[in-house]
Structure 1
Amino acid sequence: MISGYNRMKQFEESVELFADMERNLVFPTTVTLLLVLSACSKVNDKNLCKRIHGYVSECMTKPSLKLENALVNAYAACGEMDIAVRIFKGMKSRDVISWTSIVKGFVEIGNLELARTYFDQMPVRDRISWTIMIDGYLRADCFNESLEVFRQMQSAGMVPDEFTMVSVLTACAHLGCLEIGEWVKTYIDKNNIKNDVVVGNALIDMYFKCGCSEKAQKVFHDMDQRDKFTWTAMVVGLANNGQGQEAIKVFFQMQEMSIQPDGITYLGVLTACNRSGMVDHARKIFAKMRSDHRIEPSLAHYGCMVDLLGRAGLVKEAYEIIRNMPMNPNSIVWRALLGACRLHNDELMAELAAEKILELEPDNGAVYALLGNIYAGCERWEDLRKVRRKMIDIAIKKTPGFSLIEVNGFSHEFVAGDKSHLQSEEIYMKLEELTQESTFAAYLPDTSESLLEAGG
């Protein structure tokens, strides 16, 4: 019965049935303990782990490798890494499953340093252990490290599966590494790797984030199966690539196929309306969240509406949205309003928005800079001087921006004013060359937003 519940993924029932066994004083066999530990790892029941550990310690002079592995895996799944490591170190023999359980356990609790230490010490690694390490870096937003482990996996001659491919495609999407993403697509096609809906969704996301809208749409149209996440990836991707009308069209097509949108889908379609300036569409779609799908708008949805209305010049309506929100607005929402005030020179509303942001983020230099530029635009020179003095008083330094560029499959990060890159001398020489060429082409940069940087 416990085995049957496990196969049906009804792990809570497995655990309850084992409790019935204990109440009826039925002594478990090794097979029973293995099955219950498997269920335990899924429901994260550390107390049950300890009870089964007690059975093993009291009644078995020499537990099998399978049972010790199951104990390590269950404790690791419950986040009890001290106990998992103690059992692991006390094992007379270990196999790839033993090591992988420890690596996965540390990945799950976010300790990538220890996960990598144990991973590097593994005598043998299989596809699962490689994929766990790749996915661990991915979860921690260490995308370059994730791709580096994938390169090492390739060098080791290990064949990836669809789970590995999804992790690698996701890293490519975040880094904008189109070249590696294209290689992965070709690899999947040539090696008959299972190209299921999850892989298709990852490809769509990667192509959109790399700016290849046509290729993303081709993947979508070629897919035999699509789920809610496929349609949502299309809506969000089209919106972020400036194809608002197409995103809205896909949004309604999705519903015609009886696939219900969720909060992320709605955020995507509202973003599409925002990018395309479709205020009336946005109002209607925002209302449909509750009326048609009973989805309560989140802070992100309200923020999107504030940004959209503000960009359209409807600053007062945007402010009313903030006032009537059922939750407290965060600094992102107020920044959207402040940006609209700068765009439309509404200095009174700008002062209110800036005040609210500074209540939440007292040292936010960008707010002072933006407020100063609004004052400059309205020729309020005395107020501009006060803002500058305030910036000096609290010693605000602007957070430097950075850019990413992919060259020959490697992603390079550049911070503003940075000279740490190995080829920085050649880079700055090229920048100087480009500056001269742009001067000859009669290009003059817009310096209207640089008033606070000049110091005059």
Structure 2
Amino acid sequence: MATASVQPSLNPRAAAHSLAVPTSNTQSLRDMRINTSGPSLRAMFLRAVDPSRPASWSAAVADLLSSGDPVAALAVFAAALRANPAALRPALPPAFRAAAAATSLAAGRQLHLLALRSGLFPSDPFSASALLHMYHHCSRPFDARKVFDEIPSPNPVIITAMASGYVRNNLLLPSLALFRTLLVSGSAMAVDEAAALVAFSASARVSDRGITASLHALIAKIGLDMDAGVVNTMLDAYAKGGGRDLGTARKVFDMMDKDVVSWNSMIALYAQNGLSAEALRLYGSMLNVGGGIRCNAVTFSAVLLACAHAGTIQTGKRIHNQVVRMGLEENVYVGTSVVDMYSKCGRVEMARKAFERIKKKNVLSWSAMITGYGMHGHGQQALDVFNEMKRSGQNPNYITFISVLAACSHAGLLDKGRYWYKTMKKEFGIEPGVEHLGCMVDLLGRAGCLDEAYGLIKEMKIKPDAAIWGALLSACRIHKNVELAEISVKRLFELDTTNCGYYVLLSNIYAEAGMWKDVERMRVLVKTRGIEKPPGYSSVELKGKTHVFYVGDNIHPQHKEIYSYLGKLLERMQEAGYVPNTSSVLHDLDEEEKESAVRIHSEKLAVAFALMNQVPGSIIHVIKNLRVCTDCHTAIKFISRISGREIIVRDLQRFHHFKDGSCSCGDYW
């Protein structure tokens, strides 16, 4: 771990000047007249105070703070000093916390001065800890560090308070460095539950598997690995670390005494890492475990995320029904998860109904609904929701504008995308980030404005990431611009040489241009660099079970029947005018061989299976892990017309709603 930089120590009496604390007696809290929003509440507490007892004043300040009125708490503290100076010692720590809760740096500095003059700082550990808390909550971590350095031989409570404040201000490595000082202090007993919680909280935000694993080994050594709070925070750290230690996290989970937080953490860990089946299985185990463990809002948010990732609409509906039975449909967090689940399962109209049932919508709720419409190609509906959001008084944030610009991109709303990209900073003060720039490059590129898109990249103040160059590369394929595609790939290879998708996309561009030598060159590069292409697959949910198909699949129990059914279906499609599009086949094969290659794509197999097995007239929903190919897109349009069925395909980029021979994307994807 890195060590924290130590600020120069200050003389306690000089601290007032160095921290800009008012020094005149008339500015002290003893003489303050603080206006409070709750005078009747303050009066009630004052009537209950025994002025002669300092502890009574301290209790009044603490109780007002816990009641949610820190300004009133500070007013009572000022009254306490006027009535009984002896109240300073017991009432000062809750007063510091009241200043923190009110984020009143001015009041906090005056309290600091009082602590210095009375000698309570740095001698009293309770006042010192509360003073650190105040500066951190007022976003002054470096002032807190000056205070910390004045405290002679800080005890574990003080160190933990300082480390916790660093986490609050996102100074994660300094926080972990302070935790290290506890380890080298000569006694492992200096590390308690509070210190371990802070360390794992920092580790979760650093997302470093090595740090989390080291902390895990430490708490096991000192016997804290059975503490539910510590282990729950540790599971969260593993979750934020990208799921590379899922096996270790699961072993810890299986051994611990589990509470609802533990179950929620492990389910979320699976869901956030795309392991939806494991998350849903664990959710089933939670329902059967008994012992008073009951699902709550966090449980449903995690398991709905798993359904959203997997696109399992039937399972999602069942969980939604349970949400309704428990009266949580109006809960903003659960309700937003329901909106996200239905949107990603292809049922945007059901997402809108769930959205309307949320009583107090927050910025995430509005953004989720905008995103839902956008990914389905309903750009104008997305903008209507955005305008409704503004009329409601809810200000959009950074995430909202990603949703808005993505919706414009999916729907080809070029002028509106340009307008909102300029307006987000001018009207709302939101500086465009890489995600917004990526949406604009995608929008411009799809619309054929490749030079404008490339110019936007060159003008960027921040370094373009792989998503931005990838968006330009995708646009180059749509518009068959080989020269700009090669520029994009060169930049992408500088960022990541192991992503097979870049090679495949450039190979597709070369293939469509008939540049077979360059196709072969790409194939050799992939082979010599040892890059493995992730297999493309498509899945369909049937009676609660997910069926997965790969290209040329011969593993599925019904594969012979599927190929027979698909063959007959292709004959009917060709009679209706379908001609296979083989331009994306990378091999320099004859036309008949190319047609055979595209015929066995996973999307076609999944659709054929669904037509054979699902209830006639029901909507077919297919999930594809890669971008749907041009030929499959054309073929499914014909299938929707011939079969009279609505077919929804969710690919890597968006949703396609096929009905009566056309697609909702307007062939724009």
**What TM-score do the two structures reach when normalised by structure 2?**
0.56
**Pair 1:408 & 2:543 matched:** yes
Match of 1:343 in 2: 478
Alignment check: 8 A CA contact 1:165 1:199 kept: yes
Q: CA 1:78 to 1:335, structure 2 compared with 1: closer, same or farther past 3 Å?
A: closer
**Matched residue type, 2:294:** V
**Shift, 1:369, TM fit:** 2.1
**1:172-251 maps to which residues of 2 (within 5 A)?**
172-193=307-328, 195-251=330-386
Q: CA 1:252 to 1:433, structure 2 compared with 1: closer, same or farther past 3 Å?
A: same
2:522 counterpart (391, 394, 400): 391
Alignment check: 8 A CA contact 2:373 2:379 kept: yes
Deviates more, 1:86-95 or 1:328-337: 86-95
Match of 1:294 in 2: 429
SS at match of 1:293: coil
Q: CA 1:137 to 1:391, structure 2 compared with 1: closer, same or farther past 3 Å?
A: same
Q: CA 1:198 to 1:38, structure 2 compared with 1: closer, same or farther past 3 Å?
A: farther
SS at match of 1:406: strand
Alignment check: 8 A CA contact 2:160 2:198 kept: no
Alignment check: 8 A CA contact 2:163 2:176 kept: no
**Pair 1:277 & 2:412 matched:** yes
Q: How far apart in 2 are the matches of 1:85 and 1:402?
A: 39
Q: CA 1:39 to 1:208, structure 2 compared with 1: closer, same or farther past 3 Å?
A: same
Q: How far apart in 2 are the matches of 1:202 and 1:285?
A: 26
Alignment check: 8 A CA contact 1:68 1:87 kept: no
Q: CA 1:97 to 1:231, structure 2 compared with 1: closer, same or farther past 3 Å?
A: closer
**Shift, 1:52, TM fit:** 6.8
**Shift, 1:270, TM fit:** 1.7
Q: CA 1:393 to 1:26, structure 2 compared with 1: closer, same or farther past 3 Å?
A: closer
**Shift, 1:115, TM fit:** 1.7
Alignment check: 8 A CA contact 1:178 1:210 kept: yes
Match of 1:372 in 2: 510
Q: CA 1:75 to 1:249, structure 2 compared with 1: closer, same or farther past 3 Å?
A: closer
Alignment check: 8 A CA contact 2:129 2:158 kept: no
Match of 2:565 in 1: 433
Q: How far apart in 2 are the matches of 1:284 and 1:195?
A: 34
Match of 2:124 in 1: none
Alignment check: 8 A CA contact 2:477 2:505 kept: no
Cα shift readout 1:123-151 (whole Å, capped 9, x = no counterpart): x3221111111122233332222222111
Alignment check: 8 A CA contact 1:177 1:210 kept: yes
**Shift, 1:359, TM fit:** 5.8
Alignment check: 8 A CA contact 1:173 1:205 kept: yes
1:115 counterpart (249, 252, 257): 249
Match of 1:16 in 2: 132
**Pair 1:142 & 2:275 matched:** yes
**Shift, 1:184, TM fit:** 1.5
Q: CA 1:297 to 1:86, structure 2 compared with 1: closer, same or farther past 3 Å?
A: closer
Q: CA 1:278 to 1:193, structure 2 compared with 1: closer, same or farther past 3 Å?
A: closer
**Matched residue type, 2:441:** V
**Shift, 1:213, TM fit:** 1.1
Deviates more, 1:256-265 or 1:76-85: 76-85
Q: How far apart in 2 are the matches of 1:93 and 1:344?
A: 57
SS at match of 2:538: strand
Alignment check: 8 A CA contact 2:132 2:165 kept: no
SS at match of 1:452: coil
Q: How far apart in 2 are the matches of 1:440 and 1:392?
A: 36
Q: How far apart in 2 are the matches of 1:298 and 1:275?
A: 19
Match of 1:133 in 2: 266
Cα shift readout 1:271-302 (whole Å, capped 9, x = no counterpart): 22222222211221111122112222223322
Q: How far apart in 1 are the matches of 2:238 and 2:533?
A: 36
**1:71-90 maps to which residues of 2 (within 5 A)?**
71-79=195-203, 82=214, 85-90=217-222
Q: How far apart in 1 are the matches of 2:399 and 2:272?
A: 19
Alignment check: 8 A CA contact 2:314 2:544 kept: yes
**Pair 1:320 & 2:451 matched:** no
**Shift, 1:57, TM fit:** 5.1
Q: Gaps spanning 5+ residues in structure 1: where?
A: 377-383
Alignment check: 8 A CA contact 2:307 2:315 kept: yes
Cα shift readout 1:424-447 (whole Å, capped 9, x = no counterpart): 141353133223223134363532
**Matched residue type, 1:431:** Y
SS at match of 2:460: coil
**1:67-106 maps to which residues of 2 (within 5 A)?**
68-79=192-203, 82=214, 85-91=217-223, 96-97=228-229, 100=232, 103-104=235-236, 106=238
**Matched residue type, 2:295:** P
**Shift, 1:204, TM fit:** 0.8
Q: How far apart in 1 are the matches of 2:470 and 2:235?
A: 41
Match of 1:379 in 2: none
Q: Supply the RMSD in Å over aligned alpha carbons.
A: 4.0
Alignment check: 8 A CA contact 1:127 1:159 kept: yes
**Shift, 1:255, TM fit:** 1.7
Q: How far apart in 1 are the matches of 2:439 and 2:224?
A: 58
Q: How far apart in 2 are the matches of 1:21 and 1:340?
A: 55
Aligned residues: 437
Deviates more, 1:74-83 or 1:256-265: 74-83
**Shift, 1:212, TM fit:** 0.9
Structure 1 or 2, whichever has the larger Rg, is: 2
**Pair 1:255 & 2:390 matched:** yes
Task: Give identity over the alignment, percent.
Answer: 27
Match of 2:88 in 1: none
**What TM-score do the two structures reach when normalised by structure 1?**
0.79
Q: How far apart in 2 are the matches of 1:166 and 1:367?
A: 36
1:151 counterpart (266, 284, 289): 284
**Matched residue type, 1:427:** H
1:303 counterpart (438, 458, 463): 438
**Matched residue type, 2:445:** G
Q: How far apart in 1 are the matches of 2:420 and 2:362?
A: 21
Q: How far apart in 1 are the matches of 2:569 and 2:167?
A: 62
Match of 1:381 in 2: none
Alignment check: 8 A CA contact 1:235 1:247 kept: yes
Q: Gaps spanning 5+ residues in structure 2: where?
A: 1-91, 104-127, 134-143, 204-210, 591-669
Q: How far apart in 2 are the matches of 1:93 and 1:205?
A: 35
**Pair 1:268 & 2:403 matched:** yes
Q: CA 1:321 to 1:95, structure 2 compared with 1: closer, same or farther past 3 Å?
A: closer
Deviates more, 1:392-401 or 1:212-221: 392-401
Cα shift readout 1:86-129 (whole Å, capped 9, x = no counterpart): 5545549956556545545554555322221121123x322111
Alignment check: 8 A CA contact 1:173 1:207 kept: yes
**Shift, 1:241, TM fit:** 1.1
Q: How far apart in 2 are the matches of 1:414 and 1:385?
A: 29
Which of the pair is proportionally richer in helix?
1
